Amino acid sequence: MLNVGGARVPVGDEYADWDVDLLDIDPAVQPDILLDAREMLALPVGEYDAVYSSHSLEHFHEYEVDVVLRGFHHVLKADGFADVRVPDVMAVMEAVVGLGLGLDAVLWQSAAGPVRASDALWGFQRNIQRTGHDYYAHKWGFSRDLLGRALRRAGFAHVLIGGGSYALKAMAFKQKPNAERPNERIGT
């Protein structure tokens, strides 16, 4: 599995038995592959069973998202899949407007500390300030529809999107999983 930009968000327990390579732009996190995710097309084709991307895709501008997702598709084996997690900007906006919350309102607690509405929209401000790196800022946001369309444009044949707790989770498959022989690697 390739964990893209996930030094601060490790893969979930469902992948505990997987071999994981970390791809990151920040040399300080000592990734296995030091590379900007926009350059993934330079990696070998079809090397990975899965790509895991938790809260990294929103760090790219709208026009860069397609390039990054094509890179995900590029490195996956023919029966591979991408597990993509991003903030649900629509849910954040609904909380701010619908509940009358301020942009500085804490929406949830993370391992890194409290996450405010502004952090979900524009990036975890304490981390950006601490590192001084602009690449930690959020440059685009996702709704279910926007995420699904972007994954399909990148070539994924079958996309499932769920959500909750101000986040979206997409499972995007290069091929539609066979209902008679479900993909056992992800427990479906």
Short-list 53, 44, 28, 59, CA closest to 151 = 53
Q: Are strands 21-24 and 33-34 parallel, antiparallel or unpaired?
A: parallel
- Alpha helices (H) along the chain: 62-75, 89-98, 117-122, 125-131, 144-153
Whole-angstrom distance, CA of residue 21 vs CA of residue 93: 34
Whole-angstrom distance, CA of residue 1 vs CA of residue 50: 5
- Alpha helices (H) along 106-188: 117-122, 125-131, 144-153
- Domain 2-87+134-176, what fold? Rossmann fold (3.40.50)
Give residues with Cβ within 8 angstroms of 70, minimum separation 6.
40, 41, 154, 155
State pTM to two decimals: 0.89
**8 Å CB contact between 126 and 111:** no
Q: Dig out the tokens for 109 from the structure.
A: 């607690």
| Predicted local confidence at residue 180, as pLDDT | 56
Whole-angstrom distance, CA of residue 87 vs CA of residue 115: 11
Nearest-Å Rg of the Cα atoms of the chain is 16
SS3 54: strand
Averages of pLDDT over runs of 10 residues in the chain (188 residues) are 84 91 92 97 98 95 97 98 96 92 90 88 88 88 97 98 92 86 45
